[in-house]
Structure 1
Amino acid sequence: MKKQIYQSCKFFKTDMPCIYHKKDGRICSECSDFRETTGTILIIKKDAAGDVLRTTAILEPLKRKMPDHRIIWLTAETNKDVLSGNPYIDEIWTPSFETSQAISFLKFDTVINLDLSPDCLITAATAKADKFYGFKYKKDGSVSCSNKSAEEWFLISHNDGLKKANRKTYQQFITEIAELPCYGEIIVPLQKPSIEKANIFAKKHHLAGKKVIGIHTGSGSKWPTKRWHERNIIQLIKMLAKKKYPVLLFGGMEEKDIMEKIIKNVRGHLVNTGYNNTIPDFFALLDLCDVVITADTLALHIATGLKKKVVALFGPTSPYEIADYGRVEKVITPLDCFCCYKRECNKKPFCMEEIHPETVFSKIEKIL
């Protein structure tokens, strides 16, 4: 029986027949789709959603370096949909007792941990691997960094002054930490049902053949200081309306009140995409846009991965960590206190309010 089942195949499952057996009943010895795997790579990156997504930039070069390895990615349950459908990932694992058991029991060829949260550090420390890149706990509770680039990232992660002075992108850092020759594109998987829903949405609102502008209104509850004020968004939409550009408004339940206020104050070419879209639907709706205006949020990384033209707004966080791929126009607050990494701020004027809609509009006109 063991000789009849090729356990080294990329498509092998321990508890069920593989996809090709289920498709047409073929057995291992007769299968032309057999793919030999020579090892397993475990990537640990759980939070936050935007960071998980932009970390996918290491997958293309990693697969080129180790084409016959399986890739397992450990992420938070809430971020599973960010990775679902990614062609470079063989399995997505989420934290559980069983997952912890598997990681401590199995032997990996390579473990890459790019997450500094305590649970990820202990997970990385318990994983057995021939090669390790990134961060893990030592027995004394201190953090071990695998190379100089990991040490540099660790230092700037704990010093806002160094964050502000840094000029290397996040993608540069993770590429160096993983000892890869380059980084690739951010990979945004589009699901067929979500594409179909987005196409219906586009047809309903007569978007075909038009230059569509997407505006993401939020920043999430953890980073309210990143949010561009709705007063500026309203002014920008009115300027876009004069040019007859259709505008899609994006946000979640946390932005519902803001979005309704914007809609109340603007008429014409504004379409609300909804407040409670799934991650796959959010991906597909953003894909309808030609230009996306967003703060430093998940939407920025999605739009970049979808190869959209992006106008990105920066106040409390670093614009220099963002890889622009030749598609991102960065608008930085003129205030000297930018890149403070404060999640609460009572200063007047406030940094994001000082990004004027006229400046953003000129960037849109430039890249369209």
Structure 2
Amino acid sequence: MKILLIKMSSMGDIFHTFPAISDIKRNFLDAQIDWVVEDGFKEIVDWHPAIHKVIPIHLRRWVKQRNKKSWQEFKSWRSELRTENYDYIIDAQGLLKSALVAKCASGRSIDGYDKDSVREPISHWFYKRSHNIDKNQHAVERTRQLLGKVLGYTPVKKLNFGINQNFTHVQKDTHKLIFIIGTSWITKLWSTSEWQTLTKIAVDEGYSVEIMWGSLEERAIADQIIAFCPQATRPDQRLSITTIAEKLVGAAGVVGLDTGFSHLAGALETPTIALYGATSPIKVGLIGEHTQNLQLNTPLDCMPCHKRHCKWLPENSTSTPQCMSGIKANEVWQALQQKIFGEYTH
């Protein structure tokens, strides 16, 4: 049985799809699963042992450039894709762009979410079969149920992200913590002063702290934390996704924001606390017994706004919104310790 999965981005969405891939392999040992994904995430998809072939696509670049060269590259990519004939083509992303990519493939049919289950309802017109999946569920379960309905099985309760075996060579350091301070939206950032306080608490408790960064702005924040607590460290250069994964596996615990690397830490079953404010963890938060999504104890009326800019702050402000600054380092530390100690008492 040949299956083509369309789920092109983002990093967190890709990790959310891994349990569904494990489900397929549990039910169909001979399944050949190919996956269309944005080129920048090819490295991640390769981690799952059930994937037969990763098919990278440069859709973001092609759409941005919109020139003759991009069109020629797309046509060449489409021709290569059509050399394979699939029993099932599944659009697990549910967007117009992913539905159009699914139409590029050759196969018996295209499956996806129905118009009441999807973020962009127009996408369902491109499917031969569409499936009703409750929208009020976590993204992991929605994807698992979609693939289960398409292929005719019921997912088991226990999650299996299926990627830990790639990192069995990494030794756990029970006194090492990783802090993930960056994210794509300003409204998702936590106060630098709280990161400083949390780092000081961790160091005073005998832990070493390494701060991950991915941009010059994030590196500057890391340097502010280190200036406050010189025992903390950061990588000198940007690291590959695989190298960061190895650090996450080797850590005793992780604190992060609403970002793909926090989801990665959770998928790797490292005790992880993720902080949420402008976005809601109910449908796209970390999932699994090793994780906890932390918010204000008393949510604000405007939470979650799902906005890149806080309406209560001046335009272009880089200040931390109250929904995030109200989360205090002491409660984050307590939650992290509960997860870490719970991990070692199992």
2:316 — aligned with what?
none
Unpaired segments ≥5 residues, structure 2? 58-73, 116-120, 314-320, 341-346
Matches within 5 A, 1:61-76: 61-76=23-38
Letter in 2 for 1:355: I
2:181 aligned with 1:212, yes or no?
no
2:262 aligned with 1:300, yes or no?
yes
2:146 — aligned with what?
177
CA shift digits 1:32-67 (9 cap, x unpaired): xxxxxxx21101111111211221121111112222
Shift of 1:335: 2.2
Partners of 1:225 and 1:312 in 2: how far apart? Answer: 14
The worse-fitting range, judged by mean Cα deviation, of 353-362 and 254-263 is 254-263
Letter in 2 for 1:124: A
Q: TM-score, normalised by structure 2?
A: 0.78
Shift of 1:245: 1.4
Shift of 1:136: 9.5
Letter in 1 for 2:88: T
SS in structure 2 opposite 1:75?
strand
1:331 — aligned with what?
294
2:329 aligned with 1:357, yes or no?
yes
Preserved contact between residue 187 and residue 278 of structure 2 (Cα < 8 Å): yes
SS in structure 1 opposite 2:87?
strand
The worse-fitting range, judged by mean Cα deviation, of 242-251 and 99-108 is 99-108
Unpaired segments ≥5 residues, structure 1? 1-38, 154-165, 200-207
1:239 to 201, 212, 224: 201
CA root-mean-square deviation:
2.5
Shift of 1:340: 1.4
Shift of 1:86: 2.2
1:284 to 246, 249, 255: 246
Preserved contact between residue 286 and residue 292 of structure 2 (Cα < 8 Å): no
Partners of 2:81 and 2:249 in 1: how far apart? Answer: 36
Distance 1:191 1:73, change over 3 A: same
Partners of 1:294 and 1:94 in 2: how far apart? Answer: 28
1:318 — aligned with what?
280
Flag as ranges the 4+ runs of structure 1 deviating above 6 A: none
CA shift digits 1:137-172 (9 cap, x unpaired): 9xxx932171111xx54xxxxxxxxxxxx4x11111
Distance 1:249 1:238, change over 3 A: same
Partners of 1:209 and 1:84 in 2: how far apart? Answer: 26
Matches within 5 A, 1:259-270: 259-268=222-231, 270=232
Letter in 1 for 2:154: P
Distance 1:209 1:63, change over 3 A: closer
2:123 to 140, 143, 152: 143
Preserved contact between residue 15 and residue 263 of structure 2 (Cα < 8 Å): yes
2:242 aligned with 1:258, yes or no?
no
Preserved contact between residue 24 and residue 31 of structure 2 (Cα < 8 Å): no
The number of residues matched between the two structures is: 298
Shift of 1:97: 3.1
SS in structure 2 opposite 1:143?
helix
SS in structure 1 opposite 2:293?
strand
2:54 to 87, 92, 101: 92
Q: Share of identical aligned residues, percent? A: 21
SS in structure 2 opposite 1:212?
strand
Preserved contact between residue 235 and residue 357 of structure 1 (Cα < 8 Å): yes
SS in structure 2 opposite 1:293?
strand
CA shift digits 1:234-276 (9 cap, x unpaired): 01111112211111211212411111111112122x1213441
Distance 1:353 1:323, change over 3 A: closer
SS in structure 1 opposite 2:239?
coil
SS in structure 1 opposite 2:282?
coil
Distance 1:290 1:133, change over 3 A: farther
SS in structure 2 opposite 1:100?
helix
Shift of 1:117: 4.0
Partners of 2:164 and 2:28 in 1: how far apart? Answer: 22
Partners of 1:275 and 1:227 in 2: how far apart? Answer: 21
Shift of 1:224: 2.2
SS in structure 2 opposite 1:341?
coil
Preserved contact between residue 179 and residue 256 of structure 2 (Cα < 8 Å): yes
